[in-house]
């Protein structure tokens, strides 16, 4: 009894000593073993269209990592214990070894590794302290891995980006890498706003790394902001679908479409081919995910002619009712400019309708190079559109002091200048807004932005009226007509410059137009690169595609028709046979 009492006294004394004199030291040691600071990943902000439709969202996933050195040490201790002279200790160590082996096999199945692969990975990096076994794993699988309680194997919550409209909006929205950082499109240009800021928490973990308790929030996690684009997913879907079908049918190298709201400068749709699915990492190739409408440039060809006429009107070297003689060929230096046929004297409207190169060159040669250059620069050529994309092409517009006579003439009908499709569509909004150029944007605008006057209202309206002749019967753009609406626009067919020579077999065809032409609300620009068909032209290939995209966009935007009398006449003509047949039946009944 005395020995027992003595033992109790010793234990009480030891407890008192620890509690009084070693309390701080023990707390410090416990903290080192149990207290951890963990990072709380932020929820990346959504990307939505103008109507709030989701274009990019984040879903919770998990990563699985291992500390190879720690796990190898644990396995070494188990092997050492299994050889202990004490049979009970050895037996327990062997059981633990078998249990660990079984858990590792389950882990391999969950992360998609073949049997034995995990152990090979660990043995291959004996001194390494961190290695990812899996990224963006389903939360259910991560939970099962956490429940296995394998030493040195940890799970961490993160997020995976998902794109509901897949390839339809991929070139605009872009995509993120495996670390959830934007690397293309709006994901990249707005990465700071979308990413948010990580938080930090101090927590208690047990010996196996399991979370026991949250102690305090050191730094608050700030989720990413929602970014609203100007895109309308209905117009975007139709534009992409129609473009994709046309590019495949024509076996073209690529194609692009831009739809702009003329009243706000907003991009309502922007589609490109070839496309890619951002949800499928295997399809992420630079050739596919380049936003061609923004970063690729081309010589616009005849779509530049309305701007040439506008520049000449602004320079006051011609007036809107002038006629230009286009007979024969035009010799400029060593270059001979000609049309498909002899059109004779043409008004400016007919010049655009027939797309006369001779006429456009003569108009350009009437101007000083400085006046022509200044106008093209005012409408956005040679500078970035600043629409909100990370990479935007400036195009090429050489300074006018380098323009020779051949340069002046060729720029009249669209050669010697390079632009992106977005720049060209943006320039055409000048005619829709009576001479005002509004800033273009891929983000939804809360109020109408201020515009810059780049030409007079009289001249802008005059050119707009001229372009309506392009979409009439027997004109180059007759296939661009939209039932119930007046349309103004211009076709373009340009030979591609390959190895410093213009190729007759490789073309860029395009059409840019506005509707309703009496009060334009939409600009649609279509470009198809290198179609593999005979007699390719903007009027034959790009104009019909324009018509389909414009018709759908007008319907979606609920824009009132401005050409109903002609549509009513067409309906009456279509039902005349049926009405005549019905009257004949009625007459027979009366008789």
117 and 38 share a domain?
Answer: yes
Token reading at 168: 């339809």
Range in 154-158, 273-277, 555-559 the model is least confident about: 154-158
289 domain residue, yes or no = yes
Is 302 a catalytic site residue?
A: yes
212 and 237 share a domain?
Answer: no
Nearest alpha carbon to residue 107 among 145, 153, 80, 158: 145
Whether residue 101 contacts residue 107, with contact meaning beta carbons closer than 8 Å, is answered with no
461 domain residue, yes or no = yes
**Residue 69: pLDDT band with limits 50, 70, 90:** confident
420 and 509 share a domain?
Answer: yes
Separation between Cα atoms, residue 460 and residue 88, nearest integer Å = 97
Separation between Cα atoms, residue 100 and residue 37, nearest integer Å = 28
Find the distance separating the first CA and the last CA of the chain, reported in whole Å: 136
The number of domains in the chain is 2
pLDDT digits (tens, 9 = 90+) for 216-268: 677 787 888 999 999 999 999 999 999 999 999 999 999 999 999 999 999 99
Percentage of the chain beyond pLDDT 90 is: 55
350 and 374 share a domain?
Answer: yes
273 and 341 share a domain?
Answer: yes
328 and 423 share a domain?
Answer: yes
317 and 335 share a domain?
Answer: yes
Whether residue 435 contacts residue 455, with contact meaning beta carbons closer than 8 Å, is answered with yes
SS3 419: strand
pLDDT of residue 148: 85
pLDDT of residue 247: 95
- Indicate the residue among 188, 209, 228 that finishes a domain: 228
293 and 218 share a domain?
Answer: no
pLDDT digits (tens, 9 = 90+) for 125-144: 888 888 898 888 888 888 88
- Domain hosting residue 517, numbered range: 233-560
222 and 321 share a domain?
Answer: no
174 and 294 share a domain?
Answer: no
Separation between Cα atoms, residue 268 and residue 231, nearest integer Å = 4
pLDDT of residue 17: 78
Model's pTM, two decimal places?
0.83
Q: What is the dihedral of CA 18, 22, 25, 29, to 10 degrees?
A: -10
585 domain residue, yes or no = no
pLDDT of residue 488: 96
CATH of the domain at 246: 3.40.710.10
SS3 543: helix
**Residue 586: pLDDT band with limits 50, 70, 90:** very low
578 domain residue, yes or no = no
pLDDT digits (tens, 9 = 90+) for 76-114: 888 888 777 777 777 877 888 888 888 889 988 898 888
- Indicate the residue among 193, 228, 263 that finishes a domain: 228
Separation between Cα atoms, residue 176 and residue 163, nearest integer Å = 11
Separation between Cα atoms, residue 570 and residue 488, nearest integer Å = 21
SS3 39: strand
183 and 125 share a domain?
Answer: yes
Whether residue 69 contacts residue 127, with contact meaning beta carbons closer than 8 Å, is answered with yes
536 domain residue, yes or no = yes
Report strand pairing: 211-219 vs 227-228: unpaired
Residue 583 pLDDT greater than 60, yes or no: no
Residues 6+ apart with CB under 8 A from 574: none
User: Which is more confident, 209 or 327?
Assistant: 327
Give me the count of residues in the chain: 591
pLDDT of residue 553: 96
- Indicate the residue among 189, 213, 228 that finishes a domain: 228
Please identify which of the residues 58, 63, 302, 356 carries the catalytic annotation.
302
200 and 251 share a domain?
Answer: no
pLDDT digits (tens, 9 = 90+) for 305-347: 999 999 999 999 999 999 999 888 899 888 889 888 888 999 9
520 domain residue, yes or no = yes
pLDDT of residue 220: 82
CATH of the domain at 124: 3.90.1310.10
Nearest alpha carbon to residue 109 among 71, 151, 148: 148
567 domain residue, yes or no = no
Supply the Cα-derived Rg of the chain in whole angstroms. 35
Residue 521 pLDDT greater than 70, yes or no: yes
Residues 6+ apart with CB under 8 A from 578: none
Average pLDDT, the chain: 88
574 domain residue, yes or no = no
Report strand pairing: 254-261 vs 267-273: antiparallel
């Amino acid at each position: 009894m005395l020995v027992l009492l003595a033992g109790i006294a010793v234990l009480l004394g030891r407890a008192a000593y620890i509690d009084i004199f070693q309390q701080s030291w023990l707390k410090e040691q416990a903290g080192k073993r149990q207290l951890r600071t963990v990072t709380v990943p932020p929820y990346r902000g959504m990307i939505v269209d103008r109507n709030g439709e989701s274009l990019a969202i984040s879903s919770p996933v998990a990563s699985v990592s291992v500390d190879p050195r720690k796990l190898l040490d644990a396995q070494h201790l188990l092997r050492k214990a299994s050889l202990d002279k004490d049979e009970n200790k050895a037996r327990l160590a062997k059981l633990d070894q078998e249990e660990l082996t079984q858990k590792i096999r389950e882990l391999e199945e969950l992360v998609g590794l073949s049997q034995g692969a995990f152990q090979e990975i660990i043995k291959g990096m004996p001194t390494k302290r961190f290695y990812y076994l899996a990224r963006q794993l389903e939360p259910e699988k991560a939970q099962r891995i956490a429940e296995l309680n394998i030493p040195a194997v940890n799970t961490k919550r993160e997020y995976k980006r998902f794109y509901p409209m897949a390839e339809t909006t991929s070139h605009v929205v872009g995509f993120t890498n495996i670390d959830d950082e934007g690397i293309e499109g709006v994901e990249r240009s707005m990465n700071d706003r979308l990413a948010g800021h990580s938080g930090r928490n101090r927590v208690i973990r047990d010996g196996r790394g399991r979370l026991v308790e949250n102690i305090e929030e050191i730094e608050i996690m700030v989720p990413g902001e929602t970014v609203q684009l100007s895109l309308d997913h209905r117009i975007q879907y139709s534009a992409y679908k129609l473009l994709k079908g046309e590019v495949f049918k024509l076996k073209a190298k690529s194609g692009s479409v831009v739809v702009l709201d003329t009243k706000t400068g907003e991009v309502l749709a922007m589609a490109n081919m070839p496309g890619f699915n951002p949800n499928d990492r295997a399809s992420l190739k630079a050739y596919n995910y380049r936003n061609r409408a923004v970063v690729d440039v081309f010589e616009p060809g005849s779509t530049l002619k309305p701007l040439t006429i506008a520049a000449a009107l602004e320079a006051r070297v011609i007036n809107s009712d002038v006629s230009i003689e286009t007979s024969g060929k035009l010799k400029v230096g060593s270059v001979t400019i000609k049309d498909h046929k002899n059109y004779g004297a043409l008004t400016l409207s007919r010049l655009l309708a027939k797309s006369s190169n001779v006429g456009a060159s003569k108009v350009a040669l009437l101007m000083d190079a400085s006046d022509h250059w200044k106008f093209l620069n005012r409408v956005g050529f040679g500078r970035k559109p600043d629409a909100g994309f990370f990479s935007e092409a400036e195009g090429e517009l050489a300074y006018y002091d380098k323009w020779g006579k051949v340069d002046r003439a060729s720029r009249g009908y669209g050669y010697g200048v390079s632009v992106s499709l977005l720049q060209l569509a943006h320039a055409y909004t000048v005619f829709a807004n009576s001479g005002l150029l509004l800033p273009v944007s891929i983000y939804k605008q809360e109020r109408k932005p201020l515009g810059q006057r780049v030409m007079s209202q009289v001249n802008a309206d005059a050119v707009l009226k001229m372009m309506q002749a392009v979409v009439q019967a027997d004109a180059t753009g007759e296939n661009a007509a939209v039932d119930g609406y007046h349309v103004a626009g211009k076709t373009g067919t340009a030979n591609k410059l390959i190895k410093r020579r213009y190729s007759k077999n490789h073309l860029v065809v395009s059409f840019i137009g506005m509707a309703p032409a009496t009060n334009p609300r939409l600009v649609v620009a279509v470009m198809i690169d290198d179609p593999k068909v005979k007699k390719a032209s903007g009027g034959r290939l790009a104009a019909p595609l324009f018509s389909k995209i414009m018709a759908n966009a007008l319907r979606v935007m609920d824009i009132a028709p401005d050409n109903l009398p002609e549509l009513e006449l067409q309906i009456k003509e279509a039902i005349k046979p049926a009405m005549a047949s019905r009257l004949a039946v009625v007459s027979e009944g009366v008789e």
